[in-house]
Every structure is written in C-alpha cells, then in structure tokens.
Chains A and B, each alone.
Chain A
C-alpha cells in the first residue's frame, strides 16, 4: 500500500455559522498520524479574534496552528486561517497571506483558500464545505471540481445553516453529501479513504 498513489494531498475545509462543532468533532476523530495537511477557513466575528484556535485545540487529535506568512505546510497538522487575513496556498510547500478586500463579505474567504489550493494541487484536493449562512465556498468548490479534485458538503438538511452547502450543490458537482455523523466517520477513516477512492 505504501507504493500506491494517494488520492488527495491536502484537505481544505470551509465553514461559517454553525460549523464550529462539526469541525471540532472531525478534528477529534482524525488519526494522529494523518498523512496529509488539513487547512481550515472558518468565518468568525471580528471581535472574537482570540481564543478560536485554542478552542479547537482542546479536543483536536492533531496540532492546530495559525500560520504566519510563508510558513511551511506540514502533514498531520490542522492550519486555521488567521482572522482578518486571506489564507492562500502559495506552493505545495508554503502558505501566503493577504489583506485584500473581502471576498463574499469575508476575510478570510473560503473561495480564496479553495481556489488557490485547487490551482496548486490540481486534482489532489479534498474540499469539504460545512454549515453557513452565506455563499462563500461555492466558487471554490467549483474550482476544486474543475481541477479534478473531490468535493464533499455537509447535508443542508443536517446543517444548522443550510445556505452555504446548498449554494455549493447548486453551483457544482458534489461527490458526497454527508450528515455530521457520516462526516465524522469519513474523517475517522480518512487514511483508508485516501486509498479506497484512489482505487475506484
């Protein structure tokens, strides 16, 4: 199995209102020896800049970091877009940050992260979009799909705010629609899934 090509090289997750507890559950269940990086873009209130990373860290099975500009991208780490900056994938090795205008009323914006991930990793991206009350992430998912990546959304019926996953479903092809418990088990078995999907 060691020689087999992995399906995905990076996991990107976007979420807004109502996504925190789902992300937290996923991070609780991902294996400690996760062989890819996870990059999170979660909208947050401007005055709640502090403490977000710490809150995720409490339950997470892997380290959670807020990257600085040009920081290395390492496997087995969950990276959280810092508040008030867009987080971009500069290359397969490093991140970049930017403070350009809001995209979809958001900074960090999920579209910005997802699009740069798709441009860099092409088909090697697994994108997950969770609960949220706006349309950020839909175009990003569409870019992931058009570059040959894999797309998953939280089932709008299960999401506390359905707008965001529903917008993605409207905009592009979604490979899997999962409710919270299925999402959690998908990520608990992510190492196996990385290869199963490669075979199919």
Chain B
C-alpha cells in the first residue's frame, strides 16, 4: 500500500517510497542515498515535493530519471549545506592550541576536509595555519558530493549578512590577527584572499560510494554523518580510518559520536569535548 496525499502542510511519504526513490537514483546516476537517515531524508524529500509542487514520490522519480538538470538541483536541495566560518569556535581553538603544535613536529602534513560544503571550514583552517606559521607545510584536500558547493568554495566569497557571526566566531578562537586581514568587503559580499586556498585541491568525492584516495594526518568530517544511518556511518568510519596514517587525527561534528561504531576501539579520544580522535590501531 503506497499512498501519498498532497495537503499544504501535511504531505505523507512512506518509507517504501523513499527506498524506491533512492533505488531509482542509484540505478540512473550512481548516487547512493539508500542509507541516509530516514527521519531527516524524508523531511528533505517532502521539502522538494512542496518546492516543486510535485504531488507524489512516484512523479518525483519520473522527473528525476528524465531530467538530469533537475536531478542536479535535487542533489543541492536534499544535501544540507549549512556551515559557518569557525563553526564551533571552541573546536578551532583546540585545534590551534593543542593539535597544530603536534602536527607542526611533522615535516609536512596532509589535511582532508571531507564534506566541506561551501568551504567556510576550509578558509577557517587556512587562517589558523597561516597564523600558526604552518600554512606552507600543509597539503589540503577539500571534497563534497555536491559540485555546486565545491564551485562556491573555490570562489571563497560569502554574503555580507554573515559578517557579524563570522567575526564573533573568529574572535573566540584566540586569534592572532583581525578577520579583515584576510578578506575584502565589496558589493555586499565578503571576498576572502584566494591565496589562502591556493594550496587546496577541491574535488568531488562521495563518502557513500567512493574509496579512499590519499593518506592524511588530519581529517575533518563534521556534520555530515548525522545525515547517514548507522550502516553507512560504519562504512564511512572505515573509509576515514583507512585514509588516516597511524597517529593521525579525526574530527567530528559537535554532536557526532564514535562510541557505538564498529571500529571505535581503533581510535582514542584526543579531546572528547571537541570530538577529536586519534587513530591508534591499524
């Protein structure tokens, strides 16, 4: 029994319909949403239905399969791109004061921003590296499933309405400069100095299907795994584990946890409060 009624405030979507949708997408485009967390995935799908005035998941599947342009927009709509410069300032402060001093002992080091969205996290890290005198030593990859956000990330330009938030976050990281030192404000936008990210390689990478591609000293994978179910989280933890050198560090989002996952015992907490873990076993 598959039913979906359209009613402005109350569209019903059954789990089975979500599965059919994910299967159709996987077959046609190779993106695998089958193991996204159903509670939030369902809300996103309902949002897409409303936005496009599509009456049922069946019709949405048709539209997606027939229209690659529409599918591109669909990916942007259902992947959640919210991010901030220095999101969770206390995390960046710990990176600055506790983690970077350790990495600075290595002749050079590799950093991966997995699921970097529009790049605010990448800029934040670059600013820390500059201020701690480590920028030259770092080789950086920044990846996301969504090519549209990667394009934005490479432009390093953000709406001016974020300015107060960005400044406040930065000021809570124990900064060594002023945010103005790294950007210019014009035409209602904040343009960061592109030199900051000239050593960053942006590339599309899908945590749900792609393999590891390099070895890292530090991986940031924040606020993306909340959108995955436990099966997919386990896959991703394994991928991240494989992508880290022994003694490498993994950072998760403020409310993400590694405790219950299958390979938890291969990590030790470096800073539990800020969700930074160290790979201690192969």
Residue B94 lies at the interface, judged by CB distance under 8 Å to chain A: no
Q: Contacts A70-B230, A70-B260, A90-B37 given; indicate if A97 touches B43 (C-beta within 8 A).
A: no
Q: Which residues of B contact A120 (CB under 8 A)?
A: 39
Residue B174 lies at the interface, judged by CB distance under 8 Å to chain A: no
Interface positions of B from 207 to 231, Cβ below 8 Å from A: 223, 225-227, 229-230
Report yes or no: A116 in contact with B39, Cβ–Cβ below 8 A: yes
Q: Contacts A88-B39, A98-B226 given; indicate if A68 touches B256 (C-beta within 8 A).
A: yes
Question: In the complex, A70→B232 CA distance in Å?
Answer: 12
Residue A141 lies at the interface, judged by CB distance under 8 Å to chain B: no
Q: Which of B42, B80, B226 gathers the greatest number of chain A CB atoms within 10 Å?
A: B226
Report yes or no: B255 in contact with A142, Cβ–Cβ below 8 A: no
Report yes or no: B82 in contact with A99, Cβ–Cβ below 8 A: yes
Residue B22 lies at the interface, judged by CB distance under 8 Å to chain A: no
Nearest-neighbour CB distance to chain B for A80, whole angstroms, equals 12
Question: In the complex, A90→B43 CA distance in Å?
Answer: 12
Question: In the complex, A67→B257 CA distance in Å?
Answer: 10
Question: In the complex, A140→B33 CA distance in Å?
Answer: 26
Report yes or no: A100 in contact with B255, Cβ–Cβ below 8 A: no
Question: In the complex, A88→B39 CA distance in Å?
Answer: 7
Report yes or no: A139 in contact with B257, Cβ–Cβ below 8 A: no
How many residues of A are in contact with the other chain, CB < 8 A? Answer: 28
Nearest-neighbour CB distance to chain B for A121, whole angstroms, equals 12
Question: In the complex, A139→B80 CA distance in Å?
Answer: 23
Interface positions of A from 79 to 124, Cβ below 8 Å from B: 82, 85-86, 88-91, 94, 96-101, 112, 116, 119-120
Nearest-neighbour CB distance to chain B for A97, whole angstroms, equals 5
Q: Contacts A98-B227, A100-B80 given; indicate if A70 touches B39 (C-beta within 8 A).
A: no
Report yes or no: A69 in contact with B40, Cβ–Cβ below 8 A: no
Q: Which residues of A contact B256 (CB under 8 A)?
A: 68-69
Residue B9 lies at the interface, judged by CB distance under 8 Å to chain A: yes
Residue B110 lies at the interface, judged by CB distance under 8 Å to chain A: no
Q: Which residues of A contact B39 (CB under 8 A)?
A: 88-90, 96, 116, 119-120
Q: Which residues of A contact B104 (CB under 8 A)?
A: none
Q: Which residues of A contact B257 (CB under 8 A)?
A: 68-71
Report yes or no: A96 in contact with B80, Cβ–Cβ below 8 A: no
Question: In the complex, A89→B233 CA distance in Å?
Answer: 17
Report yes or no: B10 in contact with A142, Cβ–Cβ below 8 A: yes
Interface positions of B from 7 to 31, Cβ below 8 Å from A: 9-10
- Nearest residue (CB) in A for B47 is A100
- Nearest residue (CB) in A for B42 is A119
Q: Which residues of B contact A66 (CB under 8 A)?
A: 255
Residue A146 lies at the interface, judged by CB distance under 8 Å to chain B: yes
Nearest-neighbour CB distance to chain B for A155, whole angstroms, equals 25
**A residues whose Cβ falls under 8 Å from a Cβ of B:** 66-71, 82, 85-86, 88-91, 94, 96-101, 112, 116, 119-120, 139, 142-143, 146
A-B contact pairs, 30 of them (CB 8 A): A66-B255, A67-B255, A68-B256, A69-B225, A69-B226, A69-B256, A69-B257, A70-B230, A70-B233, A70-B260, A82-B255, A88-B37, A90-B37, A90-B38, A91-B38, A94-B230, A96-B39, A97-B255, A98-B40, A98-B227, A100-B80, A100-B82, A112-B43, A116-B43, A119-B42, A120-B39, A142-B9, A142-B10, A143-B10, A146-B10
